[in-house]
Amino acid sequence: MSHDANWAPLPPYSTGPRGRCPRCGQGHLFNGFLSMRPACEVCGLDYSFADPGDGPAFFVMCFGCIPSIALAVWIETSFQPPFWVHLLISLPFLLLTCLAPMRPLKGWLVASQYFYKAGPGKVDRGPSSPVDGENGG
């Protein structure tokens, strides 16, 4: 309910990973694990601007899933253990490396969108009439 000019800019790396409001740093971003609140309960910032899309999932796949799968393949090729060993080692490691960073990454991306005032791309078609002296001939 307050205007953005009344708030000092907070860096996204300090508010986002903690799941805090990108404007005031006090309110919460999330209702549940990954579902976002409609607005900040402290400053009233409307979170409808936030659209992290598939960004958190992409980063988790790149930096979490690939090492997890590499570990599972290494265990399989080196030791050829029974399937239950993968259930005890590979599956928990995969869940840990994929689920743990998802919420901080989503919070960071939302806070970055607010901090840098990111929005949908727009095409600038330029002036509608040619500039004086440029008639193309």
CB 1 within 8 A of CB 44: yes
Residue 1: pLDDT band with limits 50, 70, 90? very low
What pLDDT sits at residue 127?
77
What pLDDT sits at residue 10?
94
Please give the residue range of the domain that contains residue 53.
Answer: 7-115
Residue 63 lies in a domain: yes
The owner of tokens 């689920």 is 99
Nearest alpha-carbon partner for 65 in 93, 33, 106, 88: 93
The total number of structural domains that make up the chain:
1
Is the overall model pTM greater than 0.85, yes or no? no
Nearest alpha-carbon partner for 94 in 77, 78, 71: 71
- Residue 92 pLDDT > 60, yes or no? yes
The length of the chain is 137
